[in-house]
Structure 1
């Protein structure tokens, strides 16, 4: 599972709408906009994260980012590069807990219960440590 994606995008000012439009040539279905360049950048970042999250959930292949030097764009357009931290996106959007059946020896379960062990916390922390995921 990929933890970070990096995609370039094109930001153009649209005189008709008075807004800044962001397009992702590598992700043709993804277009967003903002009132200012900063707003457009922020909207693009959020849109990219949600778009990639949906692609992962739908088990669609995320394309490789292409070289923006080869893109055709308007003279006043600007290329920006956005990073999607998918670990943070998954943490924010996949908050539900799921049940996982595990098998441990009865004597270990009994001893753990006698000592007030939080089995769920230990499993979660152990998995995160094993996968190198910070708290």
Structure 2
């Protein structure tokens, strides 16, 4: 437990970032900025991977704010750093609207930058679009 400003808080795991944001262009922009701030101090993830991750976050959160938007329901951004792999997940509440591979400039960019990506349906009404970037720690 950490104490900040006299308020006890549970320490967040260093390898995981998770936030819910409004499905708006402002929410998508904030997601990208927060991802940059979470990735910036990480010495175990190479700079090229953080740059690719930033672009992927921008594309997936823009899609969530545009195509996955449902009034009153947030989208979720999660970043998880495993040894040798950075995983990006963006979940929205339009599980009925699955992205199709090879469509749209944004998904083509995600496909080009990520080592793997896909869509996981559920739980209803959600879907999660995920991407993984391989790297060697610190290199």
TM-score bracket, normalised by the shorter chain, equals under 0.3
What is the TM-score normalised by the length of structure 1?
Answer: 0.25
More helix by share: 1
More strand by share: 2
What is the TM-score normalised by the length of structure 2?
Answer: 0.25
The structure whose Rg is larger is: 1
